[in-house]
């Protein structure tokens, strides 16, 4: 009975040892810079966290042979393992392509944080040299901006980025062109046209150009009048528009004088064009006197209350 128990324990120990023997996993994918014993073998035991190979560059893969694996793990006491019929395995390291969209996003975030770039603006970047083809490790932050050298008013910049999975930083330089949406005429219109929503479209223009020309808000354009004939696609500047002209030169207008309950009305000839609330001079064709007033609603002229004005009526 005792002998049978001993034999049973021996067989159980042998079975457990056989079950615990490390087994080659086959093709693997790793996210770290180093490949460990546990990456390559199931049941690696206490040496599972031991690094034995350098992983390939992010976004690439490579092969290791059975002989290379055996030589790498032998110094760590792992001499017997199950090959699963494999003579080599492929090691793949996932990667994320580092492209201009990623680079521009990081630069834009930095400029926004500094208050240089706002929601009404855009940015265009031109590099001095093409962006190299790089893959970053597939981490939560594949690329981070280390430093950006850029001053408002100067288009040149230089920047350094840290790329996950790569020892060397990525350095780039070039030009940053800040752009802003500015109103342009959507179609050609003659002088005197009253602008509506459909007459205006917004296009991106360089910020310095817009600042020099003057940017007009849409609220200050709708309902305004073109000062001159303008073709489609032209930037609308403050000098290009004015309040709608209610009186044209030589128009026959109604002139009103009010003082308390007294109201006098006459007709006259406008000597200049004017918009709402603008001054206008009016000739009384009967007395040949010139009256000076202000344009009010419906193109009527309200004159001042001086005695000379009354005499001019």
Q: Which of 50, 69, 93 is the C-terminal boundary of a domain?
A: 93
Number of domains forming the structure of the chain = 4
pLDDT value, residue 187 = 94
Please check whether residues 7 and 76 belong to one and the same domain: yes
**40: DSSP letter:** H
Q: Does 82 share its domain with 8?
A: yes
pLDDT score of 303: 84
Structure confidence at residue 277 as a pLDDT band (50, 70, 90): confident
Query: Which residue among 199, 220, 243 closes a domain?
Result: 243
| Helix (H/G/I), strand (E/B), else coil: 23 | strand
E strand or H helix at 64: strand 60-65
Q: What is the pLDDT of residues 104-161, one digit of tens each?
A: 999 999 999 999 998 888 899 999 999 999 999 999 999 999 999 998 778 899 999 9
Task: Tell me the average pLDDT across 223-235.
Answer: 92
Same domain assignment for residues 53 and 125:
no
How confident is residue 19, by pLDDT bands cut at 50, 70 and 90? low
Secondary element (H or E) of residue 108 = helix 100-113
pLDDT at residue 5 tops 60? no
pLDDT at 1: 47
Domain finish residue from 62, 93, 124: 93
Residues 13 and 54 placed together within one structural domain of the fold: yes
Greater pLDDT, 2 or 214: 214
Residues 256-274 have a mean pLDDT of 87
> Is there a single domain that holds both residue 68 and residue 9?
yes
Q: 3-state SS of 204-215?
A: EEEHHHHHHHCC
What is the pLDDT of the chain when averaged over all its residues?
Answer: 88
Task: Domain of residue 143: give its range.
Answer: 98-177
- Say what the pLDDT of residue 213 is: 87
Q: Report the CATH number that the domain containing residue 71 is assigned in CATH.
A: 2.60.480
Q: Are residues 40 and 79 in the same domain?
A: yes
- The per-residue pLDDT for range 63-114, each reduced to its tens digit, is 999 999 999 999 999 989 999 999 999 999 999 999 999 999 999 999 999 9
pLDDT at 306 over 80: no
More confident residue, 311 or 73: 73
Lowest mean pLDDT: which of 13-17, 103-107, 161-165, 166-170?
13-17
Which of 35-44, 101-110, 181-190, 208-217 has the weakest average pLDDT? 208-217
Task: Categorize the per-residue pLDDT at 212 as very low, low, confident or very high, splitting at 50, 70 and 90.
Answer: confident
User: Taking a C-beta distance cutoff of 8 angstroms, is the pair 176, 150 a contact?
Assistant: yes
Residues 6+ apart with CB under 8 A from 12: none
- At residue 62, the 3 state secondary structure works out as strand
User: Is the dihedral angle over the CA atoms 20, 74, 30, 143 positive or is it negative?
Assistant: positive
Residue 122 and residue 165 in one domain? yes
- Report the alpha-carbon distance of residue 240 to residue 121 in Å, rounded: 23
Task: Give Cβ neighbours of residue 45 (< 8 Å, ≥ 6 apart).
Answer: 20, 22, 78
Intra-chain end-to-end CA distance of the chain, in Å: 141
Taking phi first (over 0 means left), then psi (-120 to 50 degrees means alpha), and beta for anything else, what does residue 209 get? alpha
Query: Predicted confidence band at 209 (pLDDT cuts at 50, 70, 90)?
Result: confident
Q: Is the pLDDT of residue 10 over 80?
A: no
Residue of 80 and 20 predicted with greater confidence: 80
Q: Are residues 208 and 158 in the same domain?
A: no
253 and 271, same domain (yes or no): yes
Q: What Å distances lie between residue 220 and 119, 125, 194, CA to CA?
A: 20, 32, 12
pLDDT at 121: 87
Q: Does 49 share its domain with 110?
A: no
CATH number for position 220: 3.90.1210.10
Q: What is the DSSP letter of 85?
A: T
Q: What is the CATH number of the domain that holds 274?
A: 2.30.30.760
């Amino acid at each position: 009975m005792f002998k049978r128990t001993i034999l049973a324990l021996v067989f159980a120990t042998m079975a457990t040892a056989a079950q615990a023997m490390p087994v080659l996993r086959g093709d693997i994918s790793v996210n770290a810079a180093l490949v460990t014993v546990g990456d390559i073998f199931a049941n690696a035991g206490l040496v599972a966290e031991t690094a034995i190979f350098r992983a390939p560059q992010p976004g690439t893969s490579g092969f290791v042979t059975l002989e290379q694996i055996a030589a790498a793990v032998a110094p760590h006491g792992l001499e017997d393992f199950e090959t699963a019929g494999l003579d080599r395995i492929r090691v793949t390291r996932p990667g994320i392509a580092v492209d201009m969209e990623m680079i521009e996003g990081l630069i834009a975030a930095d400029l926004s944080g500094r208050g240089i770039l706002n929601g009404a603006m855009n940015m265009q970047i031109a590099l001095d040299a093409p962006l190299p083809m790089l893959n970053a490790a597939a981490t939560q932050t594949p690329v981070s901006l280390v430093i950006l050298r850029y001053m408002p008013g100067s288009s040149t910049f230089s920047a350094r980025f840290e790329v996950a999975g790569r020892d060397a930083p990525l350095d780039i330089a070039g030009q940053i062109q800040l752009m802003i949406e500015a109103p342009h005429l959507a179609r050609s219109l003659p002088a005197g046209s009253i602008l509506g929503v459909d007459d205006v479209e917004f296009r991106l223009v360089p910020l310095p150009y817009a600042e020099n020309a003057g940017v007009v808000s849409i609220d200050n354009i709708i309902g305004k009048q073109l000062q001159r004939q303008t073709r489609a696609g032209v930037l609308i500047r403050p000098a290009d528009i004015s309040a709608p002209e209610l009186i044209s030169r030589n128009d026959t207008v109604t002139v009103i004088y009010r003082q308390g309950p007294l109201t006098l009305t006459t007709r006259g000839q406008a000597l200049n064009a004017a918009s709402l609330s603008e001054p206008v001079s009016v000739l009384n064709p009967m007395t040949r006197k010139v009256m000076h007033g202000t344009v009010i609603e419906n193109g009527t002229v309200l004159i001042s209350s001086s005695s000379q004005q009354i005499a001019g009526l």
